[in-house]
Amino acid sequence: MRIGFIGLGVMGAPMARNLHNAGHDIFTTLHRSPLPADLKADVLDSPADVARASEVVITILPDTPDVERVLMAEGGVLEGMESGKLMIDMSSISPIETAEMAKSFADKGVDYVDAPVSGGEIGAKNAALTIMCGGSKAAFARALPLFEVMGKNITLVGETPGAGQTCKIANQIIVALNIEAVSEALVFASKAGCDPAKVRQALMGGFASSKILEIHGERMIERTFAPGFRLKLHQKDLNLALQSARVLNVALPNTANTQELMNACAAQGEEDADHSGLVRALERLANHEIG
């Protein structure tokens, strides 16, 4: 297929590469990231040009305003779309804004699927992403062969655009609170005089075991905070959670507390570190570093 792919960052570049390696032709316009040297793609002048050249357009961009600008502004994807084409947004953004943008595409006869992902850079490179989708069954069926090139766990969460974004927000709440819990546990154990590596090893064999304890617990102990998923992007996702919760009249007290710890890290200039760096906010409160 002729696929437009906009957003060649940490996640998007390996996803586009997997699609190209599967035999698809890639068209792009550069957003913030340069064209990777190992990705063969036709670089066009605007998102509208990408849409005109493509049967399907995929975007994966940092935040809601980025997606709105690329899709809806003058020279945007919507301008170049024709009836019968397919729009897939794999960014993690507002479910409310997603639903509004999808209506504009539907008015032009364009199917729209929101399909945010989880799995990080490793999952993107290994084509092992979890993909959470919102859209009609027909649109999802059209997108599924492409999703299968990029991911493993692919679920149609709901039949209206925005459902995938809601699921991604739920994912990010769980991940953030798990990172906070592991951080608290390791800071507590270390300040009490235990070897945090030994504590982590013991906990990995019990009910407290988790991917976060396995991967991010090791990062915290080894002090390897080079970003797999930047803290500022998780901040953005928790902001979406809290904004949506206010609309729904849902209390998310622990999400709010965890967001404050992320804010504290950002205030120290750590927003570009891995989100496992959340532990440093708790270390400062305890006046104790676990590593």
- Strands in 115-219 per DSSP E: 117-118, 129-134, 151-158
Q: Which of 162, 160, 126, 127 is nearest to 146 (CA)?
A: 127
Say which of 40, 108, 125, 168 is annotated catalytic. 168
Give the angle 218-221-224 at the CA atoms, nearest 5°.
75
Q: Which residue has the tokens 């999802």?
A: 140
Write b or e for each residue in 267-285: b if 16 or more Cβ atoms lie within 10 A of its Cβ, otherwise e: eeebbebbbbbbbbbbbee
Task: In whole angstroms, give the CA distance from residue 43 to residue 30.
Answer: 7
Sequence letter at residue 169: I
- 168 classed as catalytic: yes
Q: Is the Cβ–Cβ distance between 7 and 61 less than 8 Å?
A: yes
User: How far from the centroid of its chain's Cα atoms is residue 285's Cα?
Assistant: 29
- Residue 138 burial class via C-beta count within 10 angstroms: exposed 0-12, middle 13-18, buried 19 and up: exposed
User: What are the structure tokens assigned to 276, written together?
Assistant: 């496992």
Q: What is the DSSP string of 243-254?
A: HHHHHHT---HH
Residues that are catalytic: 168
